Every structure is written in C-alpha cells, then in structure tokens.
C-alpha cells in the first residue's frame, strides 16, 4: 500500500514539472503580430517620409509667366521685333532656365539662367520680319527645373504688312555661263498713301548692274498690286560678264525708297555661274609606255556647257611643246564637242616626258587651255626580240 502511494506522488510531481517547463517555453517565444498591428507600424514609418516629400515640394521652384504671348499687331515688313518676356519665380528655391529654344525665324538674344525665389528674370527674343508676310507666330520653348512645368512656351504674334513689294516676286535667279550676261526685271510697288519714289539702288558687286525707271504707260503697270494710283517702278537687273565668278550666286540688291514704313527693300539674287566648257581629263600621264603600245594613245574631250546653243563653242587649234608627243584635233559626235588625240611618235627616244599641250578656243574668259603631259617612254619591243626570248 505504501509503495502505491509513493508511485502516485511521483507521477503527480512529473506532470507538475512538465507543465512548468511548457509555460516557461511559451513565455520565452516572441509574440506574433496581428494584421492591424502591422498596418499601424507601416503607417507610423511612412509618416516621416511623407513629411519630407511635402517639405521638398514646398521648397520647389515655380515658373510664372506674366505675359507668355506678345502681340505686335500689324507691323511693316522688314521691322525688327525685340521683346523681353518676364519670367517670375514664385517658388521657394532657385528656378533654373536650362534652355531657351527658338523656333524658325526667331532668335534668343539672352536669358537669365538662375532666378531666385520671388525674383523676376527675362528672356529676350528677336524676330526679323524681312522674309515674312501676313500673320506670323514665332515661339520660344523654355526648359526649366520646375517639377510641375518643366517646359513652357513664349510666343510673338504679328501681322507683317509689306508697304513696298516686288512683282512677280522679290527675287531673281540666274543660270548662266561664265562671261555671259543676263537681264531680269521686277516691278516695285507700294501701299503708302504718299507719292512713292525709289531714290537709289545698291548692288553687291561689279558683276551686277541695276537700273530703274518710273512706269509711265498704264498697260505696263502690274495689275492688282499696290495702292491704286500709286507710282510703280521697273527695275532691270543684269548679272554676269567677265567679273562674275564661277559658282553659286547668293546676294541681295538694296533698293532705297522714300517709304516711311519700309524705307528699304531687298531683292534676292540667286543662281549659278558655270564654266563655258569642260575638259576631261584635265591632265595626261602616260606612265611608262612604248611607242607601239596601246597606252601610247590618249584622248581628251572638250564639251560645251551651253545647253541652248552648244555650237557657239569652238576649238580652233592645238599645240604640243613635246617633240615626242603628237597632238591632233577633230570634232566630236555632238555639237560643241571636240576630241583631242595625243600620240607618242613611233621614233620617240626613251626617256622622261614633261611638257604641255595648249588648246585654243573661242571662249571669252578661257581662250587658251594648257594641259600638263607627263610620262616615261621606253624602247619599243620588237617581234624578233620577243621570239628570241
């Protein structure tokens, strides 16, 4: 009986000990967080970041344009439009104008790159109306560090009215051969109320001449242009001659008038001056050649650049300064074309060749063409010598 009692007491003690150990283990484990606890913790962590973002936003620069569009109304053609747009920084940090990009027909003279908070800067723009007529809108695109307005636009509006103009157009174009001269005419008219006059004309060089006279006959007036009853002038523009240089033409003729709105008018002069003829090739090099080889014969072609009357061009004679080179001339297959043949003579002695061939033409600018001729003449290889080898 006593042994049973001892067994029961022992088992009860074991159960009590296990329960104590289990409670201690539970106390040692970290407590798991609920979803609401996690959300609250996240919100608290984000509060400083949101506050920092708001503070940063409050310190950002702010671009404010008091007059983004400038309208000049009606202006005379040729007037220079200059305007300074005001740019204000209504933010709390420096406003930086990173770029001011003008559109076609507009230029930016200068702009303030940094504008302090509360301060006002400027963007100065220029528009030259010389090449415009009618309504125009010239824009400038600003690039800034304003986070809300990184780009913005400034615009100049105007209606360009030509008080002096040309008919049929304000330009003349020439396509001529060197030495030739051509004349083109334009009619200058005006929208002024007062009597209109041309006082003088300035040309860009000796190769351009301009004469003007008042149109007296009613039938010679340009119809439907200018103020009715106003004086019109005919301007004859002649370009070319011996002083005209080869290449493209790009100049202006300045017409000075008594117009109070547009005292000067420019007629654009464009085109090209081409050589009267071309030579192909322009130099001859025989290399090392024997008199009886095919390479001992070379050809040079002369062609007229006159598309209308190529037969005007003529080559009269040719002279060779080299005894070992014979030069002959004959007409080509087409009008204004000639073929020059250079031939190493059969009894030419071996040695170097260095001389010229002179060709005489009827061109007024280049009547004489000199072609350099070089080469080395070697002894002719005979059939007997080839057989012996």
Mean pLDDT per 10-residue interval, the chain, length 389 residues:
43 44 46 52 53 61 95 93 95 96 90 96 94 93 95 96 95 95 97 96 95 96 95 97 92 96 94 96 95 95 95 95 95 96 95 96 95 94 53
Alpha-carbon span 176 to 313, nearest angstrom: 15
Determine the pLDDT at residue 54. 55
Question: In the CATH hierarchy, which fold is given to the domain comprising 277-382?
Answer: Immunoglobulin-like (2.60.40)
* pTM of structure: 0.68
Determine the pLDDT at residue 16. 47
Strand extents, DSSP E, 112-197: 114-115, 120-128, 134-144, 151-161, 164-167, 171-177, 181-190
Determine the pLDDT at residue 128. 93
Give span(s): CATH 2.60.40.10, the chain. 63-161, 164-274, 277-382
Contact 382, 346 (CB under 8 A): no
Distances from the Cα of 51 to the Cαs of 15, 55, 56, 207, in angstroms?
57, 6, 9, 76
Q: What residues are paired with 356 via a beta bridge?
A: 372
> Is residue 296 left, alpha or beta, with left meaning phi > 0 and alpha meaning psi from -120 to 50?
alpha
- Comparing CA positions, the residue from 315, 324, 312, 317 lying closest to residue 373 is 324
The top-level CATH class assigned to 164-274 is mainly beta
Give the homologous superfamily in CATH for domain 63-161: Immunoglobulins (2.60.40.10)
Determine the pLDDT at residue 343. 97
Alpha-carbon span 343 to 327, nearest angstrom: 7
Query: Nearest 5°: CA angle at 290, between 285 and 295?
Result: 50
Structure tokens at 289: 């050649």
């Amino acid at each position: 009986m006593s042994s049973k009692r001892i067994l029961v007491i022992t088992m009860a003690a074991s159960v009590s000990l296990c329960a104590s150990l289990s409670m201690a283990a539970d106390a040692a484990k970290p407590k798991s967080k609920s979803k609401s606890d996690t959300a609250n913790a996240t919100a608290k962590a984000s509060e400083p970041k949101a506050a920092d973002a708001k503070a940063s936003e409050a310190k950002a620069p702010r671009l404010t344009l008091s007059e983004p569009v400038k309208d000049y109304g009606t202006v005379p053609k040729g007037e220079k439009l200059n305007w300074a747009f005001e740019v204000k920084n209504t933010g709390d940090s420096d406003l930086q104008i990173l770029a001011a990009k003008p559109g076609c027909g507009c230029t930016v003279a200068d702009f303030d790159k940094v504008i302090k908070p509360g301060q006002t800067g400027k963007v100065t723009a220029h528009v030259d109306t010389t090449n415009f007529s009618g309504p125009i809108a010239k824009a400038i695109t600003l690039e800034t560090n304003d986070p809300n307005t990184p780009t913005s636009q400034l615009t100049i509006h105007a209606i360009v009215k030509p008080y002096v103009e040309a008919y049929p157009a304000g330009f003349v174009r020439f396509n001529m051969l060197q030495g030739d001269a051509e004349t083109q005419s334009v009619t200058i008219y005006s929208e002024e109320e007062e009597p209109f006059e041309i006082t003088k004309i300035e040309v860009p060089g000796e190769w351009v001449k301009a004469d003007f006279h008042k149109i007296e006959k009613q039938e010679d007036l340009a119809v439907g242009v200018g103020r009715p009853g106003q004086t019109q002038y005919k301007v004859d523009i002649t370009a070319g001659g011996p002083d005209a240089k080869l290449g493209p033409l790009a100049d202006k003729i300045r017409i000075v008038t008594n117009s109070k709105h547009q005292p000067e008018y420019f007629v654009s002069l464009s085109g090209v001056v081409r050589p009267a003829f071309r030579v192909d090739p322009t130099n001859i090099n025989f290399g090392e050649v024997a008199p009886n080889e095919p390479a001992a014969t070379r050809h040079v072609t002369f062609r007229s650049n006159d598309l209308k009357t190529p037969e005007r061009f003529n080559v009269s004679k040719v002279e060779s300064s080299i005894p070992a080179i014979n030069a002959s001339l004959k007409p080509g297959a087409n009008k204004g074309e000639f073929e020059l043949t250079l031939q190493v003579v059969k009894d030419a002695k071996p040695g170097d060749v260095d001389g010229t061939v002179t060709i005489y033409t009827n061109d007024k600018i280049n009547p004489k063409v000199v072609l350099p001729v070089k080469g080395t003449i070697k002894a002719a290889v005979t059939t007997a010598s080839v057989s012996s080898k």
